[in-house]
Chains A and B, each alone.
Chain A
């Protein structure tokens, strides 16, 4: 009972490694509208492998939009034409028969291409390793209900914590800025009582590492929010900016 297949032309970015020059390669496919975008790539790869040709390399894991591993720029948009989904959740029923689709890796100075559509996003972890945590050891913590948190406040923190670390915000930004990602983590902790003791130290350290890694500046285009698969709000950026200014004032007070 499968629906009628779509005939599509794909222009896919192929690049042997980070040092070589890449280019678009054309593939003609017939695909079921019920297949996902990545399942279509699986099918192409299966055909390539059967002809002893190297598979198109792309990353994905959970295929449920939560692990943040996948990420393609499809027709110029990170994670494709639909809002609030990751690439793995995009289904072919959203394309028209006969269409040509352009597929590229996330592009940013801080995300070098590894091979074909795979990029290196390890910069994100370096930022998180510079204070993106609450310093508590295992054991020796209070009972969970001894830290009451208002429902709305917890909900706001959860909105920020929903970030999957895919990097679409960086790929969407003309400056390749990582502020949406960083501000989401800063906000989660700034909104919660557990995050207060390290509040100012955290934002200063994370922003410093972000700048060192070559991510660009924010010029408030909001492209990041528009392409974020989890709908992380730019209000987090405003919050981070306030936190950062406060941190500068506070750290000066401490020094004085």
Chain B
């Protein structure tokens, strides 16, 4: 059995990264231009990595399936980005951000990685400001902060409700600068469909040109995947329509281990489902919980208009159950609490929704203050629902949002395949079993700006990888495999549409591998997913051809990977006989319904090796907690 080497440097946690930076090998400036690097994905992690590597002098090829780097889904992040600047003088520090993140992740993340994340968090804000990111400011001209879930300090930096947009435009501006000076070449409308490994190391990728259908080969000394998460396995999620797992999944099938696939985050504040034709679920920023109060009626099936329900008949259940964190309890806990009250029949009019109410905040602060803080979010809500949150409380319900699992990486963010690096949401390392709000932007930019520029040099100088040309037979073999898959998909000519089958998969995943899971349901899910996959290969219909723009074919290719990924998520959830963070197994809970972790048996990272259809081998990376001692995670 392969031993997973996390390569955590020795020494005190506060010195690990500093020492490691000194000990890592360097590539001299004149030699950097001899190395080529492929970066797939242009979100926060990918754009910041490609820009920073280009600045150092490497020859970078960046890829995105979008028409422009700026469209990556990082752009949709609303609320903010955490950093332990302690500008508020409220007791924040690197150590506190580290502590909050390890605890928030329910003790299933790697301490050393999390500490490094906290350590570079301040640099990220400096970098973004220097690029001209227009963060919110105080009258004195300094940066403003707001609070987010799972923390008792105010450490979230924001740009109205569009923080992700502004950070991404900043990172993309850095990328554009490198494109301008020729160190990065950007390939748009290319979808990575396979990874090329030669002599055990990553040497390139195979893409489909989405405009011409051409299958293209690209080679490099190293490959970086920053392709985001896989919440669209649920069909309905807060992810953008085109977010997908294909790049990381195909790398997994080529040998990269997939870690903690069952750790998915169900975000508590999304708009409830309205009908069968719905294409996605819209997120309402967690920042709303700074001033909004979450409640339901104390009565079951209460059909009254919310404003007619008197104060003493309302149950502010988060404030009641978790008095110290209240409405800012972490996401996993808030989502489960919402499910619980709705399962009891106390949701809005007996259905699947709870209220998020700004009445008290408006009375306390005035409408203009609330408008300044959340105006654009209220507008989004009104556009979609036709209701006015200044007058009626918002209705919200949890929805799949973020995936903590991803490809396994060591401390250098390299997978078990030499030369294959994974950044941002696509890797697994920093958020454990639950991510805190405003930490995804932080991690994406930490990985891209401040980690990969160092660890990439160490790989190139230390391992001295060779450059393999795209005329190598392995490139042709992989490219032919991709062509065969395309032709096979187009030849099925069945009756069911891609979306119809994807929605079916989504229902299985949501009902059985969603917010609450149990052994029986998970076993059923595995069987049902396999059946559905068999049906797909017999009965899907994909009109159009492979040598033209074909959006149906693109979606079908992504769905192919979701079947296998969905199955592995269920298998991983079955293996983990405990409840932790976003993974809640109904069999493992305390009497009051809180998650029951089992540190003795499950304090490990599950890293799955793909060995053939429906077959995986589990490798375990034990987690050691030297600094933050695992305890029952209480927000009471």
Q: Does B240 count as interface, using CB distance less than 8 angstroms? A: yes
Mark the stretch among B411-419, B494-502, B589-597, B604-612 that contacts chain A: B494-502
Q: Which residues of A contact B380 (CB under 8 A)?
A: 64-65, 89
Task: Choose one: B132, B138, B180, B497; the contact of A50 (CB below 8 Å).
Answer: B497
Q: Interface size of A by Cβ–Cβ distance < 8 Å? A: 81
How many A-B pairs fall under 8 Å by CB? 225
Cα distance A67–B188 in the bound complex, in angstroms: 15
Interface of chain A, main secondary structure: loop
Q: Which residues of B contact A221 (CB under 8 A)?
A: none
Interface centre among A17, A49, A50 (most CB of B within 10 A): A49
Cα distance A52–B174 in the bound complex, in angstroms: 44
User: Hey, what's the 0/1 contact readout for B263-291 against A, CB within 8 Å counting as 1?
Assistant: 00000000000110111101100000000
Q: Interface size of B by Cβ–Cβ distance < 8 Å? A: 86
Contact flag A69-B123 (CB < 8 Å), given A50-B541, A89-B383, A91-B386 = no
User: Hey, what's the 0/1 contact readout for B234-262 against A, CB within 8 Å counting as 1?
Assistant: 00000011100000000000000000000
Q: Does A220 count as interface, using CB distance less than 8 angstroms? A: no
Q: Does A42 count as interface, using CB distance less than 8 angstroms? A: yes
Min CB–CB distance B135 → chain A (angstroms): 7
Cα distance A31–B141 in the bound complex, in angstroms: 50
| Cβ–Cβ contact B67 & A121, under 8 A | yes
Mark the stretch among A145-153, A168-176, A233-241 that contacts chain B: A145-153
User: Hey, what's the 0/1 contact readout for A100-122 against B, CB within 8 Å counting as 1?
Assistant: 00000000000000110010111
| Cβ–Cβ contact A2 & B280, under 8 A | no
| Cβ–Cβ contact B173 & A134, under 8 A | yes
Q: Does B450 count as interface, using CB distance less than 8 angstroms? A: yes
Q: Which residues of B contact A121 (CB under 8 A)?
A: 67-68
Q: Does B143 count as interface, using CB distance less than 8 angstroms? A: yes
| Cβ–Cβ contact B75 & A66, under 8 A | yes
Q: Which residues of A contact B379 (CB under 8 A)?
A: 84
Task: Choose one: A42, A129, A138, A154; the contact of B499 (CB below 8 Å).
Answer: A42
Contact flag A62-B76 (CB < 8 Å), given A52-B493, A93-B386 = yes
Task: Choose one: A46, A114, A128, A141; the contact of B497 (CB below 8 Å).
Answer: A46
Q: Which residues of B contact A154 (CB under 8 A)?
A: 134-137
Min CB–CB distance A213 → chain B (angstroms): 15
Cα distance A144–B85 in the bound complex, in angstroms: 10
Task: Choose one: B51, B384, B500; the contact of A138 (CB below 8 Å).
Answer: B51
Min CB–CB distance A113 → chain B (angstroms): 11
Interface residues of A in 27-84 (CB under 8 A from B): 31-32, 34-36, 38-40, 42-43, 45-46, 48-50, 52-55, 57, 59-69, 84
7 A-B pairs closest in CB distance: A148-B141, A141-B130, A133-B173, A158-B134, A144-B129, A61-B240, A138-B52
Would you mind naming 8 contact pairs between A and B with Cβ atoms under 8 Å apart?
A: A32-B275, A36-B279, A54-B544, A114-B549, A133-B180, A141-B127, A142-B126, A150-B141
